[in-house]
Chains A and B, each alone.
Chain A
């Protein structure tokens, strides 16, 4: 504040009184305005240190909170069978992944079981993926590649069932829903280990 500069001048006292009166007037005005302000903003600033951000509404969270966990958390109610999924697969997936999931041209979805420790490993949903819930999550999130986000919940259950069926993991009429899907045991469930690196000796300086 630069106000103190006037102090040395003969008019110093009058200045100071004027400033105090002015400041009080401004304060009163602010208080009055606050009292009559309509409560238009329900989402107030919330972050304690910086006073920014706001709480998300329940709807906002529901729209973006889409991750699904191996124990089934995040799965919405719904159901599907491979038999029901065949139609969606044929119309929405087959051009990129082939009739049996093995033809490509994009990622091979089926086969390869028992190949991981050979010189020509084939990593597919059936041979490599540890959790069936991950397939559900990924299909809803990212497939079909050219139109992600267009499958209904039941279509996601059904195409998940169909891809698992192509891998011989579920039967054609097994019903997958929010309780049965997490129970599907994937062949490579125990195939993953942590990161042991550095895996070459490190010379301590």
Chain B
């Protein structure tokens, strides 16, 4: 049976380590056997000697054989407090990203916040400004929802023909979690928003006091004040103890370490919604308040960095998502986009959540160009990068939801077809 294995060069070292461990284990095993032979009669019908496993523990850790980790952006001169780390999409299964592998993007580092001393203040254009403690928020009727979260700078490597070396580096600024918290609308109703209230400003308690404006219509729709992620309290790097979760909208508005929501009659025009997170067009104008993360997908296995071991059957699998709702359809091409076939969607298919797709491929061993293409419930179909570039040029930086093509060489190596 042909097998598919990740064969990145960085894995060679770990393979060597594994082999040497394997052999030393073997040596230990024969020593144990010798020892046993001396203890037990050769005609004993005992099964075999076995050492006990580890005892129970208070907080679990993954197998020491597993090495998937976030990719920390260090290639820029930027301080690590203002950097990003990316999810190893290639190494995750299903639709939930483990909290420990959820991507990060901060602007002034991860603060350590004592939940007993943290509060959320809602004020501005409301009849009744209120301060809530974290404990109080946890007493309110809660909701748990599965939503993706994607940085609008995700996939920006793919605007130009340079392209990223693999799926993690190119597209790892998206993750998906089950979030638990209270609807922001519930809190806003308690404060009674005045009729002039048209926007909110959400602000974090991080050192740089990150702040973004969000239309009140969205705030009253499905925005959550979340304190839980995947069954646990939020991770510090995800906003512990409180964050805003703005389903389907660019990561930057999902304000972490949330300390304040102010109801406004207009947007605040903060630095993060003027200088940054605006999309520069070829004519020199810039699109502002580009909140939606539009329908997107990519094949995560096989993807650049993998090596196929000879012709035969392979599962093509990946993730699709849309900030405008549920994924309706994912199609696969193996011939660079000349023909497309429907992939199978893993249920449940949830709105504004990662959706897992798969398709069984019989590789004939010749060069192939693999890609996926998502269509969401609004009828919007993920475009090619080329199509986006025709409209937006190459300097808009954010919101690249173009199709990702992987090239499979006849020798089995998989590379980014955008990379020329």
A residues with CB within 8 A of B = 46-50, 52-56, 60-61, 64-70, 104-106, 116-117, 119, 121, 123, 125, 128-131, 133-135, 137-138, 141-142, 145, 148-149, 191-200, 202-205
- Cβ-based interface call for B289 (8 A): yes
> Which residue from chain A places its CB closest to the CB of B79 in the assembled complex?
A145
Looking at the assembled complex, report how far the CB atom of B391 sits from the nearest CB atom of chain A, in whole angstroms. Answer: 5
Binary contact track B258-282/A, C-beta < 8 Å → 1, others 0: 0110100010111100110010101
Whether A203 lies near B271 (C-beta < 8 A) is no
Binary contact track B368-399/A, C-beta < 8 Å → 1, others 0: 00000000001111010001100110010001
Whether A142 lies near B268 (C-beta < 8 A) is no
Interface residue total, chain B, C-beta cutoff 8 A: 62
- Cβ-based interface call for B66 (8 A): no
Q: A105-B77, A141-B271, A197-B292 given. 11 additional CB < 8 A pairs?
A: A49-B189, A54-B130, A64-B203, A65-B260, A69-B268, A123-B275, A125-B275, A129-B275, A138-B270, A198-B294, A205-B379
Whether A204 lies near B190 (C-beta < 8 A) is no
Q: In the complex, A200 Cα to B230 Cα: how many Å?
A: 35
Looking at the assembled complex, report how far the CB atom of B282 sits from the nearest CB atom of chain A, in whole angstroms. Answer: 7
Binary contact track B138-154/A, C-beta < 8 Å → 1, others 0: 01100000000000000
Looking at the assembled complex, report how far the CB atom of A205 sits from the nearest CB atom of chain B, in whole angstroms. Answer: 5
Contact residues in A for B107 (Cβ distance below 8 Å): 142
22 A-B pairs within 8 Å (CB atoms) are namely A47-B190, A47-B191, A48-B190, A49-B190, A55-B131, A64-B121, A67-B201, A67-B270, A123-B280, A129-B271, A130-B269, A134-B275, A138-B275, A141-B208, A141-B211, A142-B108, A148-B208, A192-B274, A197-B287, A197-B292, A198-B380, A205-B328
Looking at the assembled complex, report how far the CB atom of B73 sits from the nearest CB atom of chain A, in whole angstroms. Answer: 15
Which of A49, A106, A128, A197 lies in contact with B290, CB distance below 8 A?
A197
Q: In the complex, A193 Cα to B289 Cα: how many Å?
A: 9
- Cβ-based interface call for B364 (8 A): no
Which of A119, A123, A128, A200 lies in contact with B383, CB distance below 8 A?
A200
Which of B132, B203, B283 lies in contact with A52, CB distance below 8 A?
B132
- Cβ-based interface call for B128 (8 A): yes
Contact residues in B for A192 (Cβ distance below 8 Å): 274, 278, 285-288
Q: In the complex, A54 Cα to B130 Cα: how many Å?
A: 5
Contact residues in A for B271 (Cβ distance below 8 Å): 129, 134-135, 137-138, 141-142
> Which residue from chain B places its CB closest to the CB of A57 in the assembled complex?
B131
Given A106-B77, A191-B285, residue A46 in contact with residue B130 (CB < 8 A): yes
Given A67-B211, A117-B283, residue A56 in contact with residue B203 (CB < 8 A): no
Whether B139 lies near A56 (C-beta < 8 A) is no
> Which residue from chain B places its CB closest to the CB of A195 in the assembled complex?
B290
- Cβ-based interface call for B348 (8 A): no
Whether B285 lies near A56 (C-beta < 8 A) is no
Q: In the complex, A134 Cα to B260 Cα: how many Å?
A: 19
- Cβ-based interface call for B60 (8 A): no
Nearest 4 Cβ contacts at the A-B interface: A117-B284, A53-B130, A142-B208, A116-B284
- Cβ-based interface call for B82 (8 A): yes
Whether A121 lies near B129 (C-beta < 8 A) is no
Given A70-B269, A117-B283, A197-B292, residue A148 in contact with residue B132 (CB < 8 A): no
Given A116-B284, A192-B285, A205-B379, residue A61 in contact with residue B190 (CB < 8 A): no
> Which residue from chain A places its CB closest to the CB of B328 in the assembled complex?
A205
Whether B280 lies near A195 (C-beta < 8 A) is no
Whether A193 lies near B123 (C-beta < 8 A) is no
> Which residue from chain B places its CB closest to the CB of A50 in the assembled complex?
B140
Looking at the assembled complex, report how far the CB atom of A202 sits from the nearest CB atom of chain B, in whole angstroms. Answer: 5
Binary contact track B29-63/A, C-beta < 8 Å → 1, others 0: 00000000000000000000000000000000000
Q: In the complex, A149 Cα to B208 Cα: how many Å?
A: 8
Whether A56 lies near B121 (C-beta < 8 A) is yes
> Which residue from chain B places its CB closest to the CB of A118 in the assembled complex?
B284
Contact residues in A for B395 (Cβ distance below 8 Å): 119, 121
Interface centre among A131, A193, A204 (most CB of B within 10 A): A193
Q: In the complex, A197 Cα to B259 Cα: how many Å?
A: 31
> Which residue from chain A places its CB closest to the CB of B207 in the assembled complex?
A148
Whether A53 lies near B387 (C-beta < 8 A) is no
Whether A202 lies near B140 (C-beta < 8 A) is no
Whether B288 lies near A195 (C-beta < 8 A) is yes
Whether B285 lies near A193 (C-beta < 8 A) is yes
Whether B381 lies near A191 (C-beta < 8 A) is no
